[in-house]
Amino acid sequence: MTNCSFLPPIMQEERRRLKNAIIIQSFIRGYRDRKQQHAIQRSAFDRCASASQSGGTFSIASGPNLTLLVRQLLFFYKQNEDSKRLIWMYQNLIKHSSLFVQQLDGSERLTCLFQIKRLMSLCCRLLQNCNDDSLNVALPMRMLEVFSSENTYLPVLQDASYVVSIIEQILHYMIQNGYYRSLYLLINSKLPSSIEYSDLSRVPIANILLENVLKPLHFTYNSCPEGARQQVFSAFTEEFLAAPFTDQIFHFIIPALADAHTVFPYEPFLSALLLLESRRSGTSSRTSSRAPWLFFFVLTVGEQYLGTLSEEGLLVYLRVLQTFLSQLPVSPASTSCQDSASDSEDEGEEADKQPSAPEDGRLSVPYITEECLKKLDTKQQTNTLLNLVWRDSASEEALTLMASIGHTLMVQHRMVVPKVRLLYSLAFNARFLRHLWFLISSMTTRMITGSVVPLLQVISRGSPMSLEDSSRIIPLFYLFSSLFSHSLISIHDNEFFGDPIEVVGQRQSSMMPFTLEELIMLSRCLRDACLGIIKLAYPETKPEVREEYITAFQSIGVTTNSEMQQCIQMEQKRWIQLFKVTQLYVPASRHVWRFRRMGRIGPLQSSLDVGLESPPLSVSEERQLAILTELPFVVPFEERVKIFQRLIYADKQEVQGDGPFLDGINVTIRRNYIYEDAYDKLSPENEPDLKKRIRVHLLNAHGLDEAGIDGGGIFREFLNELLKSGFNPNQGFFKTTNEGLLYPSPAAQMLVGDSFARHYYFLGRMLGKALYENMLVELPFAGFFLSKLLGTSADVDIHHLASLDPEVYKNLLFLKSYEGDVEELGLNFTVVNNDLGEAQVVELKFGGKDIPVTSANRIAYIHLVADYRLNRQIRQHCLAFRQGLANVVNLEWLRMFDQQEIQVLISGAQVPISLEDLKSFTNYSGGYSADHPVIKVFWRVVEGFTDEEKRKLLKFVTSCSRPPLLGFKELYPAFCIHNGGSDLERLPTASTCMNLLKLPEFYDETLLRSKLLYAIECAAGFELS
């Protein structure tokens, strides 16, 4: 307790006032005295300067006198009053530099060194006002040049190491006091905005400024320790490169530093830059405003020095790329690189919509960002990076960094493999893919129990992992899945199965990274990983911000709880993105393994008919839905058929409901003109909703009504005949491959004109109606056509060409592996169509007839030919057909199936009819039973039928020759045999609407066989009695 505490408040307040008054008076006296001393020293300086100029007693040509004047000047200097005095002093110091430098070798060495450093810092401050037209910048620039040069000190001091120490200290002080900031302002002020590097010899000041930029970099690189070097490079980066580029920086300084004659210390710069960014990482955001400018500089200057980097330098370069690429903002142009579902033929137009260079002298972030991505995609950059990771001795760090770069390009910048040279090259390098997969497989983590577990196993379990572990494996896993799935597009079936490929006597090396046994194991790993990722993407409990997460987040600059929640959500999003890409595309013909029904999934319980007013899905239902939509092949085909039928049933109940029987669509169709009448009466204009019930009234060839009331059977017969007619190649809308499989005819437009798309839309609706009504139709479609219907994009890849035109596919394989002079083949970028006997030459690209196919562009030619045959030529046909199909059946439901499964869904399975199954689910009426003698004779006769005759019987009764997908238990109404009376002259008849066979009482097996065969062979429809 102080004595003041016992004083009354009034006295305490008085003491405080007195104390404050003393402080104020002291400050004012000090200020007044300093101002007085400044004036005295300024007058003394002026007298000495005048005396030296007038030839008086004071001589400026003296080391001690120079030191005295500098001491006086530094004491009173104020820039707004003493700039001219400083310029005069610079004049004399430059003139008598050796006299002044001599003071560094005497008792005043420390004072002289301090004075030089202060004078150089004043130079920097003076140059920062370079916009002042009255300022002569020549002397300050000359001062910087003279007193930062070894040539000024060595003749006087003789000791080289001492000179290096002096210059290091001077540069250090200059850098600390805004040296590079001064040069930045000076360049932008004194150089014209139109200057380019080629103007260097014509603009003297440009050369001087460039030398001043490089001098500290060269000196510290050659003569200074790591710490001093780091400081210079950091200042150069922060004050010169981190700000938006001006025209002078972009068109002059950067090209100058990228010139080999400049000898820019690129490798140490990269190391310093990486260290600088690592120090900033704790406070910087995910994207940095400085990243585009620094990244552009690294890439541009690197074009000259990449070939000179050491092994360690290349790794540092990879680290720098990975650092800045992740901080680079998303370029607007990169969104056009997405693998979108666009089916437009004008794909090239979007690609041309690049950010243009600004015209107002200011460089925009989108422009620089796009330039960075272009430079990263050059051949030189690609080759440098590939050489680092392709070799057998490629380090784990190099592979990890490369994976991170690829992951960032695809996820953050939305680039796709075919449009990025680096990714495309990696995708077709088997050695790299093997290295990458084995690295992924070898990555481990230590569990709480102390055991070491592979990260793939942790993912497969769906167990949460640390941020560090997920950051290690996700980029690698993502890149491998993307590249390997893309590489499968161009791998021939023989390569896939490990067989050598021979094309016209030539033997190709395999591009397949794995043997068949390895591929089976790899696919199982990917399958299990996908199921585990679903658990991670859809966690059972809401994530909590635990203590270890808080520590981890704070280490990367995340401090608030909302930011932490956003990071956790971002982590879940990363798992979802990884899940999307790990589903490898494998052509159906290559399914050499079969996936067992997995116990962890179980039967899918959810009906999946979630409406807008329904409660939200549970976590279990979300996972099941994710599996069903994204990973359907792990769910048995029969289960997916049941789900599909359940979805159709729910939709049908909503549309058709329990309304009156006569509600719906009623049409009258002439049997001889089924397609024409249906195309007219069931057009979108007349009947916009084909999900409704359709009742058909048929007229025979004579225009008379056919017998029967449509309870569903007549419609099924009508739809079956309509689809047969519409897809008949003689109709002109579809053609067949060599294997008899259907696909759209490119010549359809020549037959019906511009309305051809309406016909495909109509046929798509009709096929959709057949699927909607669970009706099987025997239409064998080409696999590539079904793939076009199922994909998010209507385009398919080159390997489908083998099913469309084996001859063209074989020729393209020959061209791909041809070792001779490709130009001698006389090919150009055109194809010839011979539709309806009329030859037409089509250019594959603009000016294609004048572009010869060479060894350099043959891969592009091969892909363009395949793309034309598979996609461009029938793009409008397929798009219209798909739109018509989607008008009736949700395409997302169909995407639960692959192309072969869709064919089964449309036409049924090519399996023998099981009579035991049919018997088990057959009903009897009209006095018949399973033990009735006629029924026993009937089954004995049918057992003696050939498989073809059994199919005809089934079609006679049900209008379809193939059994239901899930067996006859799914046939509704059930197969039924009704007593057709005792008249033995009658033939068996059928009511297909009821799946009913009316069988007279034929007790004689021979008679029953002949009558039944006659009836099913005639197939006379409802007019048969």
Catalytic residues: 993
Distances (CA, A) of 720 to 273, 494, 705, 1019: 71, 39, 19, 13
Q: E-assigned strands of 393-519?
A: 444-446, 452-454, 501-503, 506-508
The DSSP 8-state label assigned to residue 686 in this structure reads T
- DSSP for 986-1019 reads SPPEEETTTTEEEE----SHHHHHHHHHHHHHH-
CA distance 531 to 543: 19
Within 13 Å, how many C-alpha atoms sit on residue 685's CB side? 4
CA distance 336 to 413: 10
Give the residue carrying structure tokens 């000041």: 205
Q: Smallest Cα–Cα separation from 140: which of 103, 186, 96, 206?
A: 186
Helices (H), 490-538: 493-496, 516-537
The DSSP 8-state label assigned to residue 781 in this structure reads B
CA distance 78 to 151: 31
- DSSP for 138-189 reads HHHHHHHHHHT-HHHHHHHH--HHHHHHHHHHHHHHHHHTTHHHHHHHHHHH
Q: Do residues 218 and 229 lie in contact, with contact meaning Cβ atoms separated by under 8 Å? A: no
CA distance 977 to 926: 9
CA distance 746 to 835: 8
Token pair in block for residue 213: 């930029």
Q: Do residues 476 and 439 lie in contact, with contact meaning Cβ atoms separated by under 8 Å? A: yes
CA distance 875 to 341: 13
Q: Which residues contact 44 (CB under 8 A, 6 or more apart)?
A: 72
The strands making up 922-925's β-sheet, listed across from edge to edge, are: 922-925, 975-979, 996-999, 989-991
Three-state secondary structure along 188-246?
Answer: HHHCCCCCCHHHHHHCHHHHHHHHHHHHHHHHHHHHCCHHHHHHHHHHHHHHHHCCCCC
Neighbours of 603 (CB within 10 A): 11
Give the residue carrying structure tokens 């390009």: 409
CA distance 959 to 719: 10
Residue 833, beta-bridge partner list? 840
CA distance 769 to 689: 10
CA distance 324 to 1013: 78
Query: Can the peptide bond before residue 973 be classed as cis, meaning omega within 30 degrees of 0?
Result: yes
CA distance 199 to 454: 60
Going by their DSSP bridges, the two strands 742-744 and 830-835 should be labelled as unpaired
Q: Which residues of 226-237 are buried (b: 16+ CB within 10 A; e: fewer)?
A: eebbbbbbbbbb
CA distance 835 to 887: 30
Within 13 Å, how many C-alpha atoms sit on residue 359's CB side? 1
Amino acid at position 869, single letter? R
Within 13 Å, how many C-alpha atoms sit on residue 968's CB side? 20
Token pair in block for residue 618: 């549970």
Q: Do residues 959 and 720 lie in contact, with contact meaning Cβ atoms separated by under 8 Å? A: yes
Amino acid at position 682, single letter? L
Q: Is 977 helix (H, G, I), strand (E, B) or coil?
A: strand
